Amino acid sequence: MTNLINEVSRHLNDDVIIQLSKQIGAQNPNQVKKAAQGITELLLNAISKNAAHQERGGGLFGAIQKDHDGGILGDLMGVFRGQKQVNNPSTMNGAGIVSHLLGKQQLEAAQIIGQISGLDIFKSGVLMQLIAPVIMGVVGQKQRSNGLDLGGLAQILLGGGQQQQRSQGNSGVFGKLLDMDGDGSMMDDLLNIGMKILKN
């Protein structure tokens, strides 16, 4: 998963972060960058949990194949500036993506992202919806370029996470999978991610 996180970060470069800052009305791009880091790991972890679940994973895989081929990644600035039109509206349906991945915990997630970045909860929530299609595009591009089935995609999403965590110990900014204690709640894991970001 570390490679996917790095890939998303590569697309969310400084120019894109500045553009996103303008769109959500944020004065400090550094806050947006920090929030984007948290959102990226949060949503990738949620995608990995979906992919590892047979029933939910099938729906996720179908959406990736149908709506997220990575095409938007070729000109993100054009997409976010409204200069490049996306043929498939579902590709940019960030609200739908976030709703599917986080469900009723969207508000909690936005609160934690806001706390770790300094953005208010509204800006954090909107940013999450703007970034979600980029994250899905990276995952879809990886699936397509490697010809992965659902099992292969789940392996890539989950495979490197624990190994990376072991090699870095507690030094990484992120590294906690959502709901690691298995209690069905995301809050403990969001707080763990948040505490790590605050220390950096």
**Neighbouring residues of 89: CB distance < 8 A, sequence distance ≥ 6:** none
Average pLDDT of the segment spanning 115-144: 93
Domains of the chain, by residue range, sit at 2-198
Q: For 18-36, how does the pLDDT look when each residue is reduced to its tens digit (9 = 90+)?
A: 999 999 999 999 999 999 9
Residue 144 or 174, more confident: 144
Q: Is 145 exposed, middle or buried (0-12, 13-18, 19+ CB in 10 A)?
A: exposed
Length of the chain: 200
- Can you list the alpha helix ranges (DSSP code H) found in 54-200? 54-67, 76-81, 94-102, 106-117, 121-146, 150-168, 187-198
For residue 189, pLDDT beyond 60: no
The predicted-structure confidence for 68-107, as pLDDT tens digits, reads as follows 988 899 999 999 998 888 888 899 999 999 998 888 888 8
* Largest distance between two CA atoms of the chain: 44
